Amino acid sequence: MNASPSAGAAVEVHNLSRAFRGNEALRDVNLTIPTGSIFGLVGLNGAGKTILIRHLIGALVAKHGRVRVLGEDPVADPAGVLKRIGYLTEEDSLPQWLRVGDLIDFSRAIYPTWDDAYAAELGEVFALSRSSRLQSLSKGQRARAGLLVAIAHRPELLILDEPSSGLDPIARSDILEAIIRTVSEDGRTVLFSSHLLDEVARVCDSVALMSDGRIVETRTIEELQSRYCEIIFRGNADSAAQVPNAFGLQRSGGEWSAVVETEQFDASAIGSDLQLLNRREITLDRWFAARAKSTGGPPASDSSDGAPQVIAMGEVR
């Protein structure tokens, strides 16, 4: 990305926990999102992504733990923080009775940094007519209208909570372009929560994986690729389960696949009843499949490696 990260963190979450009627939705979450980064948040359904984001936008109060967004407490000064944020969710929550022009005028009144020329440009790119009623637009067009008002004030932090859900490839591509464009402006930050891992891999610098209310692991995409690799081998179930330091075991016909830490993997240490067929670069999908369930993970080890954008906290296992 073209961003030139400036000092400091756009988002800082310390020891955030949240339970609903005894059901723990967030467990001791720690997260730092560096200013200027495009940060992916991934996890299975119910992992806690939206609940975390709702704390960031001040919709939920941090009862246990601490949340800072752009250096401020989003609950203490909601208007002050929200005017610096752009937010788009998968929920079709725009007021349907409004026309596109009304939505734009309303948003212009809220955001002191609203950029009329940029809004007009986005309206043209997205083929949105001011006179169209939101209820008459398709889901994809409504998402574009939501995106327009989320970014036309050039927010310091853009938060996208599964914005591409149910959209066609062109609408999804519009969203990705907007992400890239937003961050190409110096110092701006994007938090992108999505189940579409190929999109996350395409645009994000770093990714945090949530599972069962915890941040399981946080890595830069580059670091993921250098730290892990996938091995393919042949053998029986008992021997496959014995491959040292392997996790995320998957079977396909007579072949097995597992994820290993590249530096720790010693091909000569696998049993003689296993045949190593291939070793290949890890993809975000494969890492996700290996790590998304709380069981199974790499051996407990340092999860930061001192890389600048690594902000791993919480449990490594």
Which residues of this protein are in contact with ligand ATP, per CB under 6 A? Answer: 20, 23, 25, 43, 45-51
User: How far apart, in Å, are the Cα atoms of 38 and each of 84, 152, 159, 205, 312?
Assistant: 17, 18, 10, 5, 16
> Which among 167, 212, 166 has a CA at the least distance from the CA of 51?
212
- Torsion angle of the four alpha carbons 152, 155, 159, 165, in this order, in degrees rounded to the nearest 10: 10
Minimum distance of ligand ATP from residue 141's CB (angstroms): 23
Q: Which two tokens stand for residue 127?
A: 């083929």
271 Cβ contact list (under 8 Å, min separation 6): 235, 239, 242
- Nearer to ligand ATP among residue 47 and residue 122 (C-beta): 47
Minimum distance of ligand ATP from residue 55's CB (angstroms): 10
Minimum distance of ligand ATP from residue 84's CB (angstroms): 23
- Nearer to ligand ATP among residue 192 and residue 256 (C-beta): 192
Minimum distance of ligand ATP from residue 20's CB (angstroms): 3
Minimum distance of ligand ATP from residue 54's CB (angstroms): 8
- Nearer to ligand ATP among residue 23 and residue 272 (C-beta): 23
- Rounded distance between C-alpha atoms, residue 155 and residue 111, angstroms: 9
- Nearer to ligand ATP among residue 23 and residue 252 (C-beta): 23
- Nearer to ligand ATP among residue 120 and residue 196 (C-beta): 196
3-state secondary structure of 51: helix
Minimum distance of ligand ATP from residue 66's CB (angstroms): 19
> Which among 100, 98, 107, 101 has a CA at the least distance from the CA of 151?
107
Q: What angle do CA 281, 201, 2 make, to 5 degrees?
A: 115
- Nearer to ligand ATP among residue 208 and residue 270 (C-beta): 208
